[in-house]
């Protein structure tokens, strides 16, 4: 492990606080809509929601890690980018599981038929594939694995 001395592997991510700008404001609307449609909640649904919240609160950690290591390049940048994409993959998978479980156990106020639910589940699946591809790309090129968010 000598070659990793002083790197992300050895020191871990930065511990400085992040701003609220790194919160997933885009996902809160669809999450709120999904949860308003529940007619009943069971233990498994609570666990899946807890899993979703775990990944949501990991977003500032992943964002700070990418911010600290992406500019350095090399293995640290690739690992930081993969962590960042992995957090979003986990959030996407857990949200999909909440949605799938609520349909499967008929916990929705407005019930979905299996034929009506299939397109929505496929849309979730496509997003998960995209995040998985981004994780792979992050190991090849850290900047290419990140979403294009720079202005100018």
Over residues 9-46, the pLDDT tens digits come to: 555 655 554 444 433 434 444 555 666 767 677 888 88
Residues 19, 26: Cα–Cα separation, whole Å: 16
The reported pLDDT for the residue numbered 138 is 84
Residues 68, 59: Cα–Cα separation, whole Å: 14
Query: Is residue 99 in a domain?
Result: yes
Query: Is residue 14 in a domain?
Result: no
Instruction: Determine the structural domain holding residue 92 and report its residue range.
Output: 28-145
Residues 97-123: tens digit of each pLDDT: 888 888 777 777 777 777 878 887 888
Residues 28, 35: Cα–Cα separation, whole Å: 10
Average pLDDT over residues 125-129: 83
Q: Tell me 148's DSSP state.
A: -
108, β-bridge pairs: 38
Residues 8, 12: Cα–Cα separation, whole Å: 5
Residues 107, 40: Cα–Cα separation, whole Å: 5
Structurally, the chain folds into a number of domains equal to 1
Angstrom distances, CA of residue 39 to CA of 84, 108, 151? 34, 5, 43
Query: Is residue 12 in a domain?
Result: no
pLDDT level of residue 140 (50, 70, 90 thresholds): confident
**Which among 111, 113, 104 is positioned nearest to 44, based on CA atoms?**
104
pLDDT at 78 over 80: yes
Residues 148, 141: Cα–Cα separation, whole Å: 14
Angstrom distances, CA of residue 2 to CA of 9, 12, 13? 11, 15, 18
pTM above 0.85, yes or no: no
Q: What tokens appear for 56 in the block?
A: 């949501």
Between 17 and 83, where is the model more confident? 83
Query: Is residue 2 in a domain?
Result: no
The reported pLDDT for the residue numbered 57 is 96
The reported pLDDT for the residue numbered 38 is 74
Average pLDDT over residues 126-134: 85
């Amino acid at each position: 492990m000598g070659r990793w001395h002083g790197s992300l592997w050895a020191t871990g991510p930065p511990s400085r606080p992040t701003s609220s700008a790194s919160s997933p404001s885009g996902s809160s609307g669809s999450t709120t809509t999904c949860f308003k449609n529940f007619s009943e909640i069971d233990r498994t649904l609570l666990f899946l929601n807890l899993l979703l919240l775990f990944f949501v609160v990991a977003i500032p950690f992943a964002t700070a890690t990418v911010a600290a290591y992406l500019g350095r390049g090399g293995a640290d940048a690739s690992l930081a980018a993969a962590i960042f994409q992995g957090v979003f993959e986990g959030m996407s998978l857990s949200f999909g599981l909440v949605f799938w479980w609520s349909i499967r156990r008929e916990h929705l106020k407005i019930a979905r038929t299996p034929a009506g639910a299939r397109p929505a589940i496929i849309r979730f699946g496509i997003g998960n594939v995209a995040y998985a591809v981004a994780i792979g790309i992050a190991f090849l090129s850290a900047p290419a694995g990140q979403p294009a968010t720079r202005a100018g």
